[in-house]
Amino acid sequence: MSIRYIESCRLPTPWGTFDMHGFEDTTSQKEHVVLTMGDVRGDEPVLARIHSECLTGDGLFSLRCDCGAQLQAAMYKVAQAGRGAIFYLRQEGRGIGLLNKIRAYHLQDCGADTVEANEALGFGADMRDYTILKPMIEHLAIEKIRLMTNNPRKVKALQDIGIPVVERLAHQTGRNPHNAKYLETKKGKLGHLLEDGADDSPQ
């Protein structure tokens, strides 16, 4: 595996102070981080979120997706619990990269949904690789996870690399008029477990 641990530091945020752990994928040259709070080592299941980078949603406050809202909700929930981990993976646009994501957004502006746009550009609907999580989880000595996700593929991906997921916690937030079609595509074509009208955004 090409994942190499680099260093850790403190990261104060509006939700509390996390520890930020940096990892480098020496094959792809991508840099990933894990935010932890509390002691995540050992047998007690860790509240966790696997979050793929979304510059537009996380950093530019886009309403085309629910990514930024999901990241903030995860940080809030971990802080409320006092113990947890957020894996921030540099897999923009479900793995197609930022510029191809912009191309896909253009196709969506013309009427395509997210899956149709990715496929029109020659990509799969979801190109993300979750096997890179294994060395990160092992480095942090996390043994079991309670996963905040609506995506069954993430649960299976962790189980496939030998990480027990003892509970899946619905993580639904950020619905708005701009992302209604996006969320319906997630549910209808990608199998995400979404309930109509549900929203557990931080209060």
Examine the residue annotation and report whether 25 is marked as an active-site residue of this protein. no
Tell me: is residue 49 an annotated ligand-binding position. yes
Tell me: is residue 67 an annotated ligand-binding position. yes
Tell me: is residue 90 an annotated ligand-binding position. no
Tell me: is residue 9 an annotated ligand-binding position. no
Examine the residue annotation and report whether 126 is marked as an active-site residue of this protein. yes
Residue owning tokens 């209604």: 180
Cα angle 135-141-144, degrees, rounded to a multiple of 5: 95
Tell me: is residue 50 an annotated ligand-binding position. yes
Which of 25, 58, 66, 128 is flagged as catalytic?
A: 128
Residue owning tokens 């979120």: 49
Tell me: is residue 91 an annotated ligand-binding position. no
Residues 6+ apart with CB under 8 A from 62: 54, 56, 68
Across the beta sheet with 16-25, the strand order is: 3-13, 16-25, 31-37, 84-89, 46-52, 145-148, 165-169
Which of 126, 146, 153, 196 is flagged as catalytic?
A: 126
Residue numbering of the annotated binding site: 49-54, 65, 67, 70, 92-94, 114, 149, 154
Residue numbering of the annotated binding site for GTP: 49-53, 70, 92-94, 114, 149, 154
Active site residues: 126, 128
Residue numbering of the annotated binding site for Zn(2+): 54, 65, 67
